[in-house]
Amino acid sequence: MANMQGAHHAGHPLSFAALYGRAPTVLADAHGRANLIGEHTDYNGGFVLPTAIPQRTQVELATRDDTLVRAASMESNRPGEIVDYRLGEERQGRDWLDYIQGVTQIMRLQGLRIKGFEARIESTVPLGSGLASSAALEVSLARALRDAFALDLDDVELAKLSQRAENEFVGAHVGIMDQMAASLGEPGKALYIDTANLNFQIIPLPPQVELIVINSGIAHSHAGGEYNTRREECRQACQLLGVTQLRELDLADLPRVAGLPEPLNRRVRHVLTENNRVKCAVEAICTADLTYLGELFYASHASMRDDYEVSLAEIDLMVELARNDAQVYGARLTGGGFGGSVVMLAAAGKARGVAERIARQYAQQTGRKPTILVPPATTEQ
C-alpha cells in the first residue's frame, strides 16, 4: 500500500505510536486529482474526466471501544495536536476536523455501525490548489473506517458518502467528481464519469503524452461564495429553461440558451459546450489525437475564463505561457477556479523541463511562487 516514511517510525515525535501510545491497526490512503477536462459540469449532471495525481492523503487509524474520536493532522497549523469529539456530537466550525466529523456523521445517518477511533492524517495534496485535497481526506478516512469496522460500502457508495459529508456538514456544495476520482482514480489513467448516473470508465492516457500540473500560488476555497454562486446561477437557469438539470440540454439548445438574461446565458453555454468537449476529449484520448485534445483544453479554458468567469489573470498568463511552448499540446485551469492549478499536456519525456521553464517565466512575470506538482521532483517519488 503506502511506503512508511520517516514520520511513521515509532521513535518519531509525531508518529502514531508517539501520539497515541500504540500502533495503528489500519492504514488507508486516497490520491488527489487533476481534472483533465469537464469543469463545473458535475453538479449539473454532466460529464467529467479527472485523473489521479501522485500526491495523496494517508490515514493511520486504531479503533476504540467507546464513542470518542481523537485525530491529529500533520498538515494543520499545529501538527501533532490531538483534537477530539464524540460520535453523535459532531459540530461544525472546527477547521479540518469538519471533514472527519462530516464523514462520521453521514455514516451514522446511513445506519453504518462505527465506534470511536484514533487517527493520524498526513497529506502531500496541497490545500487550496484545486486538486481535491478535501476529497482525498474524506475518502482516505472513509476507507480506513470501512476496513476498521468491516463496513459494507463499495467504492462508488464510499464516494457518495464522502460527497454528502462535504455538502451537508462542511457546507461546500461540490459535485461528485472529486470523491469519485479519489475513490476510483488511478495515476496515468483518465476516469470518464457520467455524473447523472455515476457510470464510469477507466481510460489509459496515451504513452506519447505526459501530464504537468503547476499550482499558481493562489489558493482558492470551495466553501467561499463564488463557487456556490455559480451553482445558484445554474439552478436559476434550469428554472427559466424548464429543466431539472442542465444535463438535459445539448448543443442544439444553444439558440434558446442565448435568450437567457446575462450572465445566465454564458454560464449555461459553458456547461453545454464543456459537456461536448469531454466527450470529444475521450475520443481524442482513445485515438491518441493529441493535437485535437490540446485544442479542446484551450477551448475549455477560454470558456471558463469568458463564459463561466472563474479564471484569474495569473492563471490566464500561465495558460498562455504553455501555449507558446512547442512541447505543450494544451493547457487549462483545473478545479473550481479563482486560483488553484493549471493542467497541461506535454510531449512524453519533456514534462519536467517544460514545467520548470513555464514556472520560471510565470514567477518572473507575476512575482508569485508557483509549485510544480506533476511530474513530482525525482526526490519526492
Instruction: Indicate the residue type of 316.
Output: D
Omega of the bond prior to 79 within 30 degrees of 0, cis?
no
For residues 360 and 358, what is the distance between their CA atoms, to the nearest angstrom?
A: 5
| DSSP 8-state assignment for residue 335 | S
Kind and range of the H or E run holding 214:
strand 209-215
User: What DSSP assignment string belongs to 248-294?
Assistant: G--GGGHHHHTTSPTTHHHHHHHHHHHHHHHHHHHHHHHTT-HHHHH
Own/partner pairs, 308-313, CB within 8 angstroms, 24+ separation: 308/39, 308/40, 308/230, 308/266, 308/267, 308/270, 308/337, 309/263, 309/266, 310/39, 310/40, 310/226, 310/230, 310/336, 310/337, 310/338, 311/337, 312/216, 312/218, 312/337, 312/338, 312/339
Among the listed residues 29, 98, 178, 325, the single catalytic one is 178
- Residue 325: helix, strand or coil by DSSP? coil
Cell of 288: 491518441
* Secondary-structure breakdown of the chain: helix, strand, coil percentages, each rounded to the nearest 5: 45, 20, 35
Q: Contact, 290 vs 209, CB < 8 A? A: yes
| DSSP 8-state assignment for residue 357 | H
In 3D space, the residue among 168, 126, 167, 121 whose CA is nearest the CA of residue 145 turns out to be 121
Give the Cβ contact number of residue 193 at 10 Å.
Answer: 29
Residue 178 a catalytic site member: yes
- Residue 217: helix, strand or coil by DSSP? coil
Instruction: Write out the catalytic residue numbers.
Output: 178
